[in-house]
Structure 1
Amino acid sequence: DARTFVCQVGVGSQDVAENRTDLRVYKIPETPEILAYSGGISVQSSEIPEIARCVSRNSFPPPSITWHKNEEQLQPDEKTVKVLATVTRESSGLYTVSSTLFAHVAREDANSLYHCTVHHWVRGQRRSVDSQRVNVTVFYPMQHVRLWVMPSSALVKEGDDVKLVCEADGNPPPVFSFYKRELEDNWQDLSSLVDSNSGVLNLPNVNKNSSGLYRCQTLDLDDMTQMEKDVELVVNWKPRIVAISSPLYVRQDEVVNLTCKAIAFPRPSVHWNINGTAHEYVENQHIASNLTVRVSHDLLRAGAMCRVSNALGVSEKHIQLLDQKTPESKGVIIVAIIVCILVVAVLGSVIYFLHKKGKIPCGRAGKQDM
């Protein structure tokens, strides 16, 4: 029905007048349908990839379609943006218009929203209808890797359940592997303890042996790029006294060194229950305290107490002091024993000599005389 109508008016056969009018028919299109590309789109694609397809149905006359990214209209060009449109006239006389957007993407487009707008005419006025907003999956290589301890490494104590979380900024996510440094810079593979796709290493019920340097290694399966990140796990534990100088043999008034060695983290403080001159030595998580004291009667009787403490607990142990006899007293005892032995030997010799001379009568002879 969209055509030009002519009206003619005539008087007789010679005077004829006419006028024309155009009848325009408008059919508002349906809400446009938009379908985003279902696969991933790589930022490294050499060809301009497809982003989405937009379809406008049942309109008259045929509408036009424009594309927008983050509410800004995209302008076609040969290198970055292309639009392919097709117009189909249905049997009803109405039009279906399809438009496909091709465009290069960047990392930032992972959060971009695309939509199409259908422009049509109604009574001489241009109208427009927007489609829904869609997002596409963007594939891009990783540039950074993060590795951290949950909960915070400064708060980890023995018995806690700890997670090491590794995160890479690539998409799709890379394959994760975990390692722990051992002696001589050897690395223990912990990948069997983790889901390679999750990037989370679970360490339940940690102890002091769990402390150390951990490494997360990532592998991008798209371009086989590897990256890695290290983190130090420090497990805090309450003190344990591992060595003391007990029992200790001493002499009264002697100057001696009392030793107390403990292991803990954070570094503990060492206290003695007696006065003296203390010296501390630290090696790794070991701390040793040497206390120089003069042995008194009370110290010899009661001994000494070593007390080691930090924010997680306290450990105490008693040092026993035993009286050690002086070398002089030992010598006197030895001499006395030797003298006793000599006296007995001399006395035995005298008795034997007198018996041989007959000075000492035997018991049986005496009985005969009686």
Structure 2
Amino acid sequence: MEFPFQEPDMMLESRGNLLMLSSVSRKDSGIYQCRPLDSVGQAEVKGEVQLTVHYLDPAFVVPKDSEVMLKGENLIASCNALSSLKTVTVWYKDGKQVGYSNMLHLDDATYETSGEYVCEVTVPSLPSLHTSGSVHIIVQGGPQVVGVEEEVQLEEVAGRMVNLSCEARGHPPPSISWNIIGSQNWQEVMSKANDHMTHSMVSVKVNSDVSAVCNATNDMGTEVKVFSIKAIPRVTRTPPFSPVEGSGVIIVVIILCLLLLASLGSVLYFLHKKGKIPCGRSGKQEITKEKPTKDDIVVEMKNNPKNEDAVLLKAVNGEKKGPNDQ
């Protein structure tokens, strides 16, 4: 069996009635015919088949590799890939979609425009066919300090350390220097840079009001950022009252009072035993003899505010007998 390929005099090797094609490419597309080896003329052709090989060439990106732009400029990048079928092109930056055609428009370039842009070309009807390309965009210009405020107002307790961070974009990469007024105790604790960014951090001790100026400079200009730090006097606070500690103080005071009362009672008892303190009720006196008799007359003298005369209370002799006399 022979398989002529397009031209009658071109023969392809086969295994019996099977034709094997390896590493198929677009040049293998065409009409394939099969007929017996001993056949003569086109009238004896037994069969034919149309073979179409679909393809997608590598993506071609313009501008190629990298492109430098000035701030504010516009740029159009293109991405094309020759294919036998309809294609779809999508642009990505940092994993996010930024364009949906073979043309990418970059208008009014800023430092955020800088980066790598990747275009991916796919064939929707044959997902296995895909290709990609990329271009690196560099935006050139003077330094731009990151942050909205040109001057930052801060407050810090006197005696403490504060970290100040300054980050600047630009190409060529800017250099950062610091000018600090109001503190001699400061040092740079971090510094790093890449193709379009520089970052610096300083640690400053606040003893009084401080003014710190970050200067970002490259060949195309200079930009500054000011940090104004107001020192707040350190205030010593009285520790808060603790209920547990208060209870302990109250217990100690009560114990001291009890000890004082006990000491006072001991002194009074000692003076009473020595006869230094008379015993009796105020305003009352009792007149006694060694041994009372029946003929004795007991007289009680009372001080009456209304009547100051002495009153005879009772005569015992002959009038009333006591229980012991019966």
- TM-score bracket, normalised by the shorter chain, equals 0.3 to 0.5
TM-score by structure 2 length?
0.43
Hey, which of these two has a bigger chunk of strand by percent?
1
| The structure with more radius of gyration | 2
TM-score by structure 1 length?
0.38
